[in-house]
Copies of this chain bind each other. A is one copy, B any other.
Amino acid sequence: MQLDELKQKFEQFLKQKGYKVTKSRLELIDKIASYGSHFEIEQLVVWVSNQDKGVASRSTIYRTVKLLQEFGAIREVIKLGNRTIYEFIAGKPHHEHLICVKCGKIIEFYREDIEEIQDKVCEEYKFTPINHRLEIFGVCDGCSHSLV
């Protein structure tokens, strides 16, 4: 999906919800899309503030991240200690993560079979799943060879 198309959809979403289509909101979706898939809000705040002036304040960034989550373009994918790592998922297929606890490297993977098993488990418990997150913490190949 193109970014322009996404922005259009986001505008529709905002209008339909009775929210306003603002400069900040549209510029932030651009910034987040170009930042790179996995990000933390504070990093984003710093990065955005160091660029053009006046895109959005910290509060607006926090608020817009929530909006984009509601819209479905962003997802909370990793919770490590008291850090939250988000991901821009628009147009990206669902996947899970391996997280290296030494270097922070994030590896993405997808297994249809894991998804299917989850569906079965939910059925068994008459549980209606909304979303899920599988985090595998460990040590990546590079780090397991390094002597540090």
Known: A113-B113, A114-B117, A117-B114. A107 touches B135 (CB 8 A): no
Instruction: Point out the residues of chain B lying under 8 angstroms from A79, CB to CB.
Output: 79
**Identical copies of this chain, number:** 2
A121 at the B interface (CB under 8 A): yes
Residues on B with C-beta less than 8 A from A113 are 113, 117
Interface residues of A in 102-148 (CB under 8 A from B): 107, 109, 111, 113-114, 117-118, 121-122, 124-141, 144
Contact of A98 with B by CB under 8 A:
yes
Q: Which of A101, A113, A122, A128 has the most CB of B within 10 A?
A: A128
Q: Which residues of B contact A136 (CB under 8 A)?
A: 118, 121-122, 127, 129, 132
B141→A137 contact, CB < 8 A: no
> Quick check: A126 and B114 within 8 Å, CB to CB?
no
Whether A134 lies near B131 (C-beta < 8 A) is no
Asked whether, in the complex, the Cβ of B133 is within 8 Å of the Cβ of A135, the reply is: yes
Q: For residue A138, which residues in chain B have a CB less than 8 angstroms away from its CB?
A: 122, 127-131
Which of B114, B121, B130, B140 has a CB less than 8 Å from the CB of A109?
Answer: B121
Q: For the A-B complex with A114-B118, A118-B134, A133-B134 known, give 16 more contacts whose Cβ atoms are closer than 8 Å.
A: A79-B79, A98-B121, A98-B127, A100-B127, A107-B125, A107-B127, A109-B124, A113-B117, A114-B117, A118-B136, A126-B144, A127-B136, A127-B140, A129-B137, A131-B137, A131-B138
